[in-house]
Each structure stands twice: as structure tokens, then as C-alpha cells.
Structure 1
């Protein structure tokens, strides 16, 4: 019997591999070689709020691409590996969709019998951009927004037994629309990249009770040795309680019960503070207790005791502070793109790798550039210890970019629809990421792309999350609002504008190019701000820029961002090649000088 079972599994695996293989002939990462279509990105997708039971729906789905006006197709065109975008190699498809077409997905799944009596929620990590969802031929939801997760209660639409049919239709206008899209364009070149259409993060099922916690918001307060919690509870009734138990990893150190849907606080005696040098996390167990004392929901979570603020130093320069001490933020511009998966890392190990390598190069910060990552990426940052500046993905159009002075002109006017899309998606992104301690700076706008009502958006961002800093306009257009003045200058550092009342940072510089044969996405036209011929030349130039940066820190800089973590498509200005197989500089030398830069404020 055992031999028959093994043979059956081998047949299933063979059939899966027969239906899928990476498409195209572009370079790939080493992780792409080990992908099993039956076990794709199998890790729990939301570790900051981890329940015991769940079901992964990643894997091979049927797909079709049809004109937008056409009805659901009767037959499928092939198989696609979810959650890789249809334009990516790892999807197995590598086809363009475009604004005139839509992408259809279809698959069957079954609900475990043990989930009977519970609500079943269908979760999407991210779908770019508009997703219409059917279950068993009934349209149950529409969602817009390419960067935040969404969840649907599918319980009323499930059949009593047997297979359930799930259908998803996606429309993404790419740069023909005004929605947030980051670096995607229909004709990629230079600093612009391949479109990403459809499902690009994990799809999964989770059973919950009628009463359950939808979200947990956590705000540390190290000045008072306290941490504030707010649990958003579905279907709460009078008498329902939230219980949070805090552990230092080995020992329970605090526990409190509070009324559901009310803010409450826990005191942490002699708290261990989180920093890149010591990324300590407190672990928690959260329970929802009904009026009849039954536990209706339970999950694991974590938080960190850390504080981000600004303060004027003894020389009158406004500095960023971490845990009430001046702290220089230094890290790479991280686009988060992959040659084989585009927006989606091939594996969780790959997702973590860039963060690990960034730390090994001596940085303490990452600017996540015009993209939002899966939840596991932020947990890796929390656990490994790296500060994150989180950009809002740009959308709409760039107008009248003034980067070397304070803005003088009439701000870009979005249409009412474009403005509504921005506000909805920015709030959704902030809601999604609110409790990750590694995130210390919000960046609503970058280089005037779609920048509108800057002061209003900045003040809203600051009021919605007073616990973090707001870098309202990275690279311009500059207004006297928010916590940070952010300059961009290529290739060398330059302090050409200074704000005596806010933090001043160099939000982008560098871009030193080195094309390495055998590791290029585009073998024809490769782009960088300046280019060199070998690793020593690139390292020498990098160190020269770092030495200049060190001289500008006493004059006013409190943070800096080097462009960039990896090559991306036609760009060859990465610290690593696009396939992550080669470091392009002497890591020991740049680590040493990076630490010297950071230590200028210690």
C-alpha cells in the first residue's frame, strides 16, 4: 500500500511539473531552480497575527486573457503558477495583458470538514489592480488596490460539500491609469520596469469564529514603559474581553484583560528596547473571550519597544532619534524586484536574503521604494533589525518637478477619482503596516510623481499615525511640512538645501553602475548614473562618496539612501546583480565605511 501511495504522489508531482516550467530566457535567481509548484511560498503569510489553522491556495490555477468587454471564457488557455504575476517567468506564462484586456483565474478547492461551523475567510495578499471574485458562479466581491491585503467572508456562498469553484478576474491599466503602480510601465526602459498584473502575493483560507479579531494595532511608548493595544473585533458584544499575554521569549512577564474594541495598555517593567543593533521582540498570545467565558479566537503576535522622534542637537541641527538618542539612518534604495518573479520573490528565503545582505553590508535602514512588500518581509525586518522608510507607490503623473528649492508653483491637480484612489490606497497601506516596529518613516510622495495637496496629505498622514515620522516629498517638490526635508542628488552627496527646523536627509544618491556579463536582464542598453569597469573601481567610487557624506553629516544630514540594493531590469547600479548571484563591490570595505558613516552621530 505504501508503495502505491508513493507512486501516486510521484505521478501527481510529475503532472504538476509537466504543466509548469519557468517561461522565457531571462536571467533567474538560484531559488527559482528549487520551486515546487505543489508547494509554493508555503509559509504562514501574516506572522504578526498567526492563527493555527489555515489553507494555502498557491499553486497551479487555470488562466485566460480576454478582451475586457468579453464575458467569462468557456475554456482556459493554460496553467499559471500563483502567486506570480502573469508577466513573470515563474508564472509559467510570461505574457502581457494590457489595459484593453483582463486576466481570468480559476481553480477548485475543498474546505476541511474540521472547519464546519466556522466562518471561512478568503484572503488575498495583494492583487494588482482591480479584482472581481466569484465563488461557485456567484460574484461575491470587487476590490481595487494593488498593494494591500483584503479578506472576504465566503461562508454564505460555499456548497455544503465537495469542490468549491473560485474565479478571479483582474484588470490593470498599468501606466494608462492613475492608480498607484510604482515603477511599472507598458514599455519598460531605463528606470521603468515590466508591468505586474494580477495575483502577486499568497492566496489563502482561514477559519474564524463569528466573533474574531480582525486587526490588532500596537503602539509602544518607551517613555512610560507602556504599550497600547487596540483590537478590532468583529461582532463583539457587551461582556466580550481581549486577553493579551506577553512573553520575553522564555518567561511570561505580563498579562491583561480588557473590554473588546477598547484601547488598553500594558506596562513593561525595565523594557528591552528594539534597535538594528539589538532587535528584541516581545512575543504575545492574544485571546478573544466571549461573555460566556469561551475563547472564540486565539493567535500569536509580537511587538517591539522602540521610539522614533526628532530633536535639535547641541549645534542646533534637528536630528532623527531612535529610543531618545541621535541616530543616523543609512541604507539602500530597495526596489524589491526579481528577474524571475518581478514583484514576487521566488521563495521566503529569497525574500529574506536582501535584508540579510543589507545588514551584512553594514547598513541599518532600507528605503522601500514605491512598492509594498508581503507581510513576511516586514516581519523579517523586525526580527533581523533594520529600519524601514516606507514609500507610497507612485501613480498618476509628474508635474513641474522642482528639486533644488522650495516649491514655487501651482500643485498638480488630480481628478476627483484619482485623488479618491490615492487616499483610499494610502490609508489601506498604512492600516496594513501600522504595527510593524521596523517601519519608522512614511513617504507619501516621491519626486513630484502624482504629488498633490502636499500639506494636507502630510498632515493627514501625521495625524493618522503620530508615532512615526513623515517624509512628505522625497526629492521634491519641497514644502515646509512634515518632519523631513529630503534631497536627491546624483551621483555624489550634496547638501544644496537645508531646513533648520526639520530633519534634512539625502534621500537618494549614488547609482554607480557596473554591468556584469552573464547577470544582465538586458544585454543591449544598460543604464546607470555613472559606470565603471570592475569591482575595485566601483568600490573606490562608493568609498569616495561615503567620505564626502561623512563631511556633510556635521553640516546637517541626518540620514542617507544609496541607490540601490540590486540591479533591476535595465538598471545596472545595484550593490548586487539582479539575480543576486554576485556582489559588485568589496563587501568588507563598504561595510567598514558604512559603519563609519552611521557612527558619526554616536
Structure 2
């Protein structure tokens, strides 16, 4: 059964029903004409103008990107009113192989580029591979109505991989790590009453050194994909008072106990006011206390967050002249023995976790979806199949992804992006330390999102040291940083007993918490949770119009774990595999499973939907029934 784009579900209604400070801020966008690949040329009269390049494969949202992309407020758990987006048309030029960051070149640069984007993508207007050193630049004005006595923050949501930032010719900051936000206080360098020149030097060594890069590669192969270089998430300005909130940590459990820590610029103990309200505005808690210290308080009989009822509470935090708006969900993630079996628990009950491996790649934007609507489409598709979980596979998404999961009610298993896997050389001590530093960044930036339930350290041993077992110490460090979630130390194999899970990968049929297993996985460990981290992977070659037409990808299609001639065969086999999984839930110690995967990705043609998101491959009613059977069987065991 082949279905075209399904009806939209509930996410936009959820957003529309939220308070003003939890709504998405949108602006008018323009539709951009598509230029054939390679037609953009430098001009002696100025930068070559931006034109959307024709990607190898587009999506229904490609021509809706316009020149004002991603206008939404980028950090939904730390919202302020005074902000402005710097997304849009910048200029770009290849910096050659220079490893020395000198003075910025004269602006404008050679070619216009759309920010945010990956320069390898059609949406960027560049669509080029193999560039490791590059410049990006723009000019901007500070909004006239901003208080000139306040501080100005320049925020980047993600730059892959290293960024050196210049404002009006002055080096104002450096950041390393392709998936993480950073903020620069540019008050001393910004012109409040005139144009400002912003230039960013980016270095992205994908494959050249061992860095956290996930599935990115310049050496395209079946399960490794086109890389992403450059400023690939939003850039924006924010006006803040002299002492402002830099981070807000919020946890709320099933008993109504809330823990909050309000981090501030001065690291002092200024008075903080925290107000918690229901979605319809009823205040349920008002708390006062010092900043930069953990504050504990209670909410009586809260409505709990779960996939069936993703209730969220609005939170307002005030310190001096600074006010931020956020939200929180009440829920508890833990592990416990239920009828003699170690289980993952949500709000004290065994909830079977089932959902897809979600890689988050797009044929037009690569790492970045073309629009927010496109990103939410994938999540709504998962939810429409009756699934309650998504495994975000060795990639970290924009914060709006996690807010969408919070609002839709999707449990998130969050992987740490793996280090490069080419060759047999293990990471050096310095590379290992950098990996662990960035893993801590991932946790610090995302630990207040209600939907995230598990942190994953290593996937199938990629970038995992073998001369000792670092996952034990890393697991303990994660528990110190975030004691509210579970840790899956090693998903797949090379398991040495660390973490809360014994996580098996097996294609196509599952081996979940069973007394049998296939190498290189490990036998079930009754002291930990039996979990199927990956299975399925059934393939079906779509019509050419829905296929990523890149030679390396087409060449490797038959490496897909199990190929099917048509969707009838595909869905028949899926039913068989889900029945096997149901039996393993009934007979053994299976507590959750991840099916591969949400969408096709380049040469992997095993998604619920094709890579262009135009054709749904799964028989929706059959899958909904089979998924519900998993939950029903697990309920009998719980």
C-alpha cells in the first residue's frame, strides 16, 4: 500500500493552544526560484546572488524555505521578548586550506548563501563538497527600540565544526563542537546606532581527524551520508540586562517535586522568583530563592506527562530585570523489578518503549529540515502509527525538535554523536577527552526536556576505546550531571556491563531479552533492562522519482538488510517481525525496541516513508494494530 502525504495531526493545535510565550514566532517568508546546480557564478559587481540550488531530490517543503528561514525563537525553554533573527542571506567564500585565522576578508564575500544551512545542501545555494575552511559574513543593525544600556548577546545554535567569530573586525569568540549552541556577549563591540559587520571563520575536518560527527562522511557509503559544514542552525541577537539568566535547569517528578537551578551571568545569589502555571493560566506554585543554587518545591497533585497525555506546565522565571519563559512536564524515569524482570519505568509503571531509529536527514537540507513544519511531519507520522518513542540516532537536533516531542508525547532516546569510524586506530587520549566534553554539553543543554528519557554513549562500538572501558566512568559522570534519566552505555555490541541496558542489535528479526543471541551481541543480563536497540531494516526500492539519485547511494542499495520486491511483501514481513517481537515480550524479558527506520536516507531504502517524504511505504492500519499488540502484551507482563 502506497500513501501520499497524510493528514496533519495535533501538533499545531497544541502550539496554538499554548500560552503566548510558548507559541512559535513566525514571520512572512518568500518563495525562492530554483536554479540548476552549478549556475551560481561569482560577479565582478558583487557577490553572486543567492538561488536555491536543485538538490538531487527535493521534498514538499523545498520551495517553501524562502529567504527568511527558521524564524521561530530558537530556545523554547529560555524565551525572552527582546530578540531578533539574523537568519537569511549572508555571503560566503571558500578559504582554501589555510589553517591560520587571520583578519576577516573584505565584505561582502564572493557568493550569497542562506543561513542556516549546510553548504553541501541545495538549500544553502552553494551545494559543494570537500570544503574544510570557509568564511561566512553578514551585516546587521541592532533594533532601534532596544535599551542601549542593556547587554547584547550574539547566539549561534550550531556551527559545524569550529567557529571563530569576528564582529566589526574584532575576534569576539571561538567555539568547537558541531552540534552545540554558544552565546557571545558582544556589548563592547557592537554598534548600537549603525551597521555591524559579522564574519565567521569555520573549519570542518570531517573524516580528517577523530571528532564527534555521527553519520557524516566525505567517503559516501551505505550507512554513512553526505556531511554538513558551516552555520547549520539559527543565528540571532538578544537584549538582556547586566545580570541575566544564562541557563535554567528544571526537573519535575511524578510526586510533584520540582528542582530548579537558575544560572546567572554573575554567578551570585540574587533573588529569583519562579511561577508555575497550568496551560490555562492557573498558578500552582510561586517560589522565591537564590540564583545559582538548587531550589526545591512542590506542586500538589500535578497532571503527569506521558505519551498518552503530554501535559506541560508553563514556567516564568524572574531575576532583577530579566524575565524568561519556559515549561516543564511532571514525570519520573527509573528502573525497577516488575514480576521478577528489570524494567524501565515511567511514573512508576512499566511502559514498553517502541519507535523508530530517527536519523533526521533531508535530501534538500541534509542535517537541517527545510522548515519546522517538515520536521514536525516526521514526528507526527511516527505518532500516527501508534508509537510512543523515537531514538534520535547519533545526531542532535535543533531545540525545537525536543519541544515538539514534549508537546506531542514522544519518548526520546538521545544518542551522543559518535566519533569517526574509518580505520582501526582508536581515539587518542585528547580525542577521548574532547568526546566526553561534548557529551557533557549535550546533557547540559538538553536535560530539562521532558521527553528525553535515556542518554546513549556509544553506538555499535563506533569510536569506543577497547584498551580500557571508558563507558563505566562516563556512565557515572552522566548520573552526576543528570540523575533523572537512564543511561544506555553501549547500544549494539562491545558491551562490558556498564549502564542500565543490555541492548541488542539484530537484523532483520529481533532478539530482545531472549535466552538466544547472535554475535557480536552479548547474552541477556538479568540485572539490566533487555532492549532491542535496532531491528527490522526491511528494504524496498522506491520509484526513481522518490530515490536519492547519487551514484554511491544507488550502488549500495542492495546492502539494505533485507530487500523486498513490493510493498505487499514489505508489509507482510514487517507483520511477521512485529509478531516475533510480541512473542519475545510475552515469553522473555523484552522491555523496548527500535525499528529501523523513520525515513529512507540516501542509499538506505528501509523507511516508513521515502527520503523525499512523498510516499508512505507502510500499511498504516496494519502497523497500528501490530504496534498496539506490543503494548497490550507488555501490559499483561507489567
* TM-score where L is the length of structure 2: 0.86
Q: Report what 2:250 is aligned to.
A: 218
Q: Report what 1:503 is aligned to.
A: 529
Spell out, residue by residue over 1:11-60, the C-alpha distance to the aligned partner (whole angstroms, 9 max, x if none). Answer: x99999993332134111111121221x2111111111111111101111
> Does 1:578 find its partner at 2:611?
yes
Q: Report what 1:162 is aligned to.
A: 194
User: Offset at 1:259?
Assistant: 1.3
User: Offset at 1:237?
Assistant: 4.7
Give distance in 2, aligned partners of 1:330 and 1:425: 28
Give distance in 1, aligned partners of 2:31 and 2:142: 22
Q: Report what 1:249 is aligned to.
A: 279
Spell out, residue by residue over 1:217-273, the C-alpha distance to the aligned partner (whole angstroms, 9 max, x if none). Answer: 0122324x21110100112555x2111111111211211111122211221111111
- Check the 8 A contact 1:211/1:236 in 2, yes or no: no
Q: Report what 2:633 is aligned to.
A: 600
- Check the 8 A contact 1:97/1:197 in 2, yes or no: no
Give distance in 1, aligned partners of 2:277 and 2:476: 36
Q: Report what 2:66 is aligned to.
A: 36
After TM superposition, the structure 1 = structure 2 runs for residues 22-421 of structure 1, keeping only pairs within 5 Å, are 22-37=52-67, 39-69=68-98, 72-74=104-106, 76-98=109-131, 101-115=132-146, 116-223=148-255, 225-235=256-266, 237=268, 240-250=270-280, 251-289=282-320, 296-314=321-339, 316-397=340-421, 413-421=426-434
Find 1:514's aligned residue among 523, 537, 540. 540
The 1:16–1:29 alpha-carbon spacing in structure 2 relative to 1, beyond 3 Å, is closer
The 1:15–1:209 alpha-carbon spacing in structure 2 relative to 1, beyond 3 Å, is farther
Give distance in 2, aligned partners of 1:442 and 1:399: 26
Give distance in 1, aligned partners of 2:538 and 2:336: 33
SS for the counterpart of 1:67 is coil
SS for the counterpart of 1:161 is coil
SS for the counterpart of 1:269 is coil
Structure 1 window deviating more from structure 2 (533-542 vs 441-450): it is: 533-542
After TM superposition, the structure 1 = structure 2 runs for residues 5-20 of structure 1, keeping only pairs within 5 Å, are 19-20=49-50
The 1:28–1:557 alpha-carbon spacing in structure 2 relative to 1, beyond 3 Å, is same
Spell out, residue by residue over 1:284-314, the C-alpha distance to the aligned partner (whole angstroms, 9 max, x if none). Answer: 111113xxxxxx1112110011011111121
Give distance in 2, aligned partners of 1:479 and 1:26: 42
Give distance in 1, aligned partners of 2:268 and 2:345: 42
Give distance in 1, aligned partners of 2:130 and 2:319: 44
Give distance in 2, aligned partners of 1:545 and 1:237: 56
The 1:534–1:413 alpha-carbon spacing in structure 2 relative to 1, beyond 3 Å, is closer
SS for the counterpart of 1:114 is coil
Q: Report what 1:3 is aligned to.
A: none
SS for the counterpart of 1:553 is helix
Q: Report what 2:20 is aligned to.
A: none
SS for the counterpart of 1:342 is coil
User: Offset at 1:351?
Assistant: 1.2
Find 2:437's aligned residue among 413, 424, 435. 424
Structure 1's unaligned 5+ residue stretches are: 1-9, 290-295, 401-411
Q: Report what 1:591 is aligned to.
A: 624
Spell out, residue by residue over 1:147-201, the C-alpha distance to the aligned partner (whole angstroms, 9 max, x if none). Answer: 1111000111113521000000111110111110010111212011001101111
Give distance in 1, aligned partners of 2:49 and 2:349: 56
The 1:489–1:236 alpha-carbon spacing in structure 2 relative to 1, beyond 3 Å, is closer
Give distance in 2, aligned partners of 1:221 and 1:258: 20
- Check the 8 A contact 1:64/1:73 in 2, yes or no: no
- Check the 8 A contact 1:441/1:469 in 2, yes or no: yes
Spell out, residue by residue over 1:92-139, the C-alpha distance to the aligned partner (whole angstroms, 9 max, x if none). Answer: 1101234xx411101000001322111110111100000010000111
Spell out, residue by residue over 1:343-395, the C-alpha distance to the aligned partner (whole angstroms, 9 max, x if none). Answer: 00111111111111100011100000000000000000000000000000000
User: Offset at 1:515?
Assistant: 1.4
SS for the counterpart of 1:162 is coil
- Check the 8 A contact 1:310/1:321 in 2, yes or no: yes
The 1:153–1:396 alpha-carbon spacing in structure 2 relative to 1, beyond 3 Å, is same
Structure 1 window deviating more from structure 2 (521-530 vs 552-561): it is: 521-530
The 1:68–1:398 alpha-carbon spacing in structure 2 relative to 1, beyond 3 Å, is closer
Structure 2's unaligned 5+ residue stretches are: 1-27, 36-47, 518-522
